[in-house]
Every structure is written in C-alpha cells, then in structure tokens.
Structure 1
Amino acid sequence: MDTTNSKILIVEDDSAIAEIERDYLEINGYEVEIVDNGPAGIQRGGSGEFNLILLDVMLPGADGFAVCRKLRETVDIPILMVTARQEDIDKVRGLGLGADDYIVKPFSPGELVARVKANLAQYERLRSRSGGASAVNSELKVGQITIRPQSRRVYVRDEELSLKNKEYELLLFLVEHVDMVLSKETLYEKIWGYDAVGDSATVAVHINRLREKIEDNPGDPKVIQTVWGAGYRLKA
C-alpha cells in the first residue's frame, strides 16, 4: 500500500535531530512539518492536517506524554513516541496514553522510515477494511464481545467501548482467530506491520489495556488468556 504523500508532524526540540528526521522522510516522499515544543505539538497535531505524528518524550512547555494524552482526545492517527530513555516504564507510559508505537534513540534512518511506513500502511489497511466490510460480515460475536467492523464499534455485554486504533485492531485480530494461541511476535508483525522481532512491551501493554476494558477482573483474565511461553489466546 502506497503511503507516500502522507503528511507527518515532527515534534522535537533538538533541531539537528528534527532536520535529519525530516530529510530522510522527505527523501521517501513524505511531506514534513516540524514544531519544537509541547504546546505547538498539541495545536498543530490536533489540526487534522497530518497522517502521523512523530512525538519526542522530552519537550519544553509540555512533555510528550502530556501532548499524547491531549491529542488522543481529538485525533486517531498513528502517534510514534521517540525516547532516549531505555527503561520500559517510559515506553509503557507512552503506550498507556494512546501512542501506537515507540522508537528509541539512537535509531537508524532506515528504522525510522520503516516504522513510519508500517504504521501508516497499517492504519490505512484498518480504515479500508472497516469501510469495506460486507453486510454478511457486518458483525462478529465471541462470548460477550460484539464487533461491527463497518462502523468500527465494539460492545461488551451490550455496552459500547472506546478503543484506540491499535486496541481495536488487536481485539479484532484476536476475535478473528478465536481459541488460537498467538505469539507476541505474530501479534506485533500483524498489528504493527513491522517485520522485526516482536516487541513484547508493546504487545503486552496493549493486551493489558484491552483486559482493563473487557475483563470482569483484569488481574485474573478469563477472556484474553496468557499461554505462558507461547503467547495469548482469546477464549470463546
């Protein structure tokens, strides 16, 4: 799927890094705009003009976590958090606020472009898939979970849930593969579209977020089960 000509917002206060990111993305056909602080990231990111936001964690005015939280109130485009910290807690915090993926500095230009392409392509696949659902397959049901792909609506015990893009796509994939054990690597490749060793932190955080929304007791999950040493399974 061709995602070139997409418009990307870089929110980064280090001008040297931002310019490198911009140059490599523009070489690959993307239109890029740079802002260098949190408030500007919120203002421009929420404008509806962009297809993806590359969001640094450490920013003046408001850090990346605050920016991500605010943006998720109004936009559903992919948000990639950029962090120089290695601790998983930063990655988990970013994903918990609604980020779709993260990338750790220092990263190669090739990795940056690959992540951007993968997230844009996956987002477009999700939109196309939802918009093109046939009437025959307009509703999927497993236990107390009902998914209507045509409208991207999810219900648990007849109550509608509010899910972020990756949460929705992950749950849809699990429902379509009910009772199958799916490894973290498989889920990462299928949902995030990035052909690399599965990122256990990313997958685990999104699984936990889903459990908080659909399980009676997220600490003792009965619907999305962990199969130790193998992955996860949605129980029918």
Structure 2
Amino acid sequence: MEKGTILIVDDEKEIRDLVDIYLKSDGYDTMQACDGLEAIKLLEENDVDLIILDVMMPNLNGVEACLKIREMREMPIIMLSAKSEDIDKILGLNMGADDYLTKPFNPLELVARVKSQLRRFHKFSKKVDVLAEDNNAIHIDDLVINLETHEVILGDNLLKLTPTEFDILALLGQSRGKVFSIENIYESVWNQEFMTSDNTVMVHIRKIREKTEENPRNPRFIKTVWGVGYKIEK
C-alpha cells in the first residue's frame, strides 16, 4: 500500500534520483520536477501529499515556487538548500515551508522528516474530535480553529495558515492556559529532538501572529511568557 505521493523538485537530477530511490524503498510514490514551473504544472494535474523543494533553481526558484504553491495547496513543504545561514532558513520558513534541510544531507534524515511531516499533517487532518464529544472546533473569542476541516476563521475571514502554523495554533489552543516552551512546541509538532540554536518555532509564531493579529506586537491570542515560552490564555 502506498504511503502517499511525494513531489521532488530539484534542478540536479542526481539529487532527485537519490531521494527518489530512498522514498520508493520506504513505500512512497514519487514524482520529479526540475524547477518550480514544472512543479506547479504537476501540482495542477496530480494529487501530491508532500513536496521536497530545492531553493536554488532556474526559471522559478524554490522561494517563488513555495509562495505560488501555498496559494494552491496546504500540503507540507520541506525546503532544501546549500545555504546554511539562519537568514536563508528564516526566508524559506517565512515563505510557507514547514521544514528546512541543508545540503549535503543524509537521505535517511530526509525520509525521517517526510514521515514526521506527513504523520503530523494527517493527525490534524483526521475527522476525529480530539477535544470532547461532538466538538471539533476550538473557539477563542472570534477565532475558530476547526480540527476537522483544518481551517482557521477569524471573524468572517478564512485565514490561510500552513500545516505547521495550524498545528502550533491547535496545540496551544487545545491546552489554553498552559505555557509551552519552544522545546515543547518543536518536539510536539515536528516530532524531532530540539536543537538549542534552532529558531524555527519563533519564526512560525511570528507568522501566525501576522495572520491572526491586528497588532502582532501586542497579540490577543498567542502570548509570550518571557523566559518560559508561549501560551493562549483561558
């Protein structure tokens, strides 16, 4: 049984073929694209569960492609880049990526991240009430987090959150009043061990606030508990 379809987007055929071999050996179906334009065309014609997206590509690079893909689909995106500086990682995450891996990488680590992203995405996409009987939505003032449809509504507006942004918001919303450290959030959402220098969670929190708050510097929903972490108040 196929675990899902993964779209591998990289202008280096050797990397595409290497990742393809490892994913197929683990039971995934795969498709390949050599640049962002080809990737978008494939997405318009096929169902894809996750995208592995290189940053540096001709025609349409990974950052530009990520922005366009986010207008079309909500599946997880893992970005690949030869650049290791924090600013490049933050840029990728800001554009809507869910995870980031620096080249050269261990293919087994990439497969592990694919599994983690799909497991997390499917967990929150299931039509199962994880709060209480017959209640599949979290209401916080005029903010509604629907765990069944994976939608977030603020007032009359449907917000466009990435899968990871949704998962963080749902995690905090399901345990209102509880303070989550950055490490707690990372390990709960990404299902990976937290690295002390990793600023991924902070970037995602900032993006959530930009989408949910009138004034992100004075947030109504996700509060910062200085020196501890984040919470949504009761």
TM-score (norm: length of structure 1) = 0.89
Counterparts of 1:16 and 1:160, CA distance in 2: 41
* Percentage identity across paired residues of the two chains: 37
> Superposition pairs for residues 76-91 of structure 1, below 5 Å?
76-91=74-89
Shift of 1:144: 3.6
Shift of 1:24: 1.3
The one-letter code of the counterpart of 1:44 is L
The alpha-carbon distance between structure 1 residues 47 and 102, as it changes in their structure 2 partners (threshold 3 A), is farther
Counterparts of 2:180 and 2:123, CA distance in 1: 21
> Superposition pairs for residues 113-128 of structure 1, below 5 Å?
113-128=111-126
Structure 2 residue aligned with 1:137: 135
Moved over 4 A (4+): none
Shift of 1:65: 0.6
> Superposition pairs for residues 218-229 of structure 1, below 5 Å?
218-229=216-227
Q: For structure 1, which runs of at least 5 residues remain unmatched after alignment?
A: none
Counterparts of 1:198 and 1:146, CA distance in 2: 32
Structure 1 residue aligned with 2:159: 161
Task: String of CA shifts for 1:112-143, please: whole Å, max 9, x gaps.
Answer: 11001111111111111xx2237631332233
Contact 2:125 2:150 in 1 (8 A): no
Counterparts of 1:42 and 1:19, CA distance in 2: 19
The alpha-carbon distance between structure 1 residues 216 and 117, as it changes in their structure 2 partners (threshold 3 A), is same
SS of equivalent to 1:220: coil
The one-letter code of the counterpart of 1:106 is P
The alpha-carbon distance between structure 1 residues 175 and 26, as it changes in their structure 2 partners (threshold 3 A), is same
The one-letter code of the counterpart of 1:85 is K
Shift of 1:220: 2.8
SS of equivalent to 2:168: helix
Counterparts of 1:141 and 1:42, CA distance in 2: 35
Shift of 1:4: 4.9
Task: String of CA shifts for 1:28-64, please: whole Å, max 9, x gaps.
Answer: 1112222212211121133332211100000011110
TM-score (norm: length of structure 2) = 0.89
Contact 2:125 2:147 in 1 (8 A): no
Structure 2 residue aligned with 1:177: 175
Q: For structure 2, which runs of at least 5 residues remain unmatched after alignment?
A: none
The one-letter code of the counterpart of 2:140 is V
Aligned residues: 232
Instruction: State which drifts further: 38-47 or 109-118.
Output: 38-47
Counterparts of 2:213 and 2:197, CA distance in 1: 24
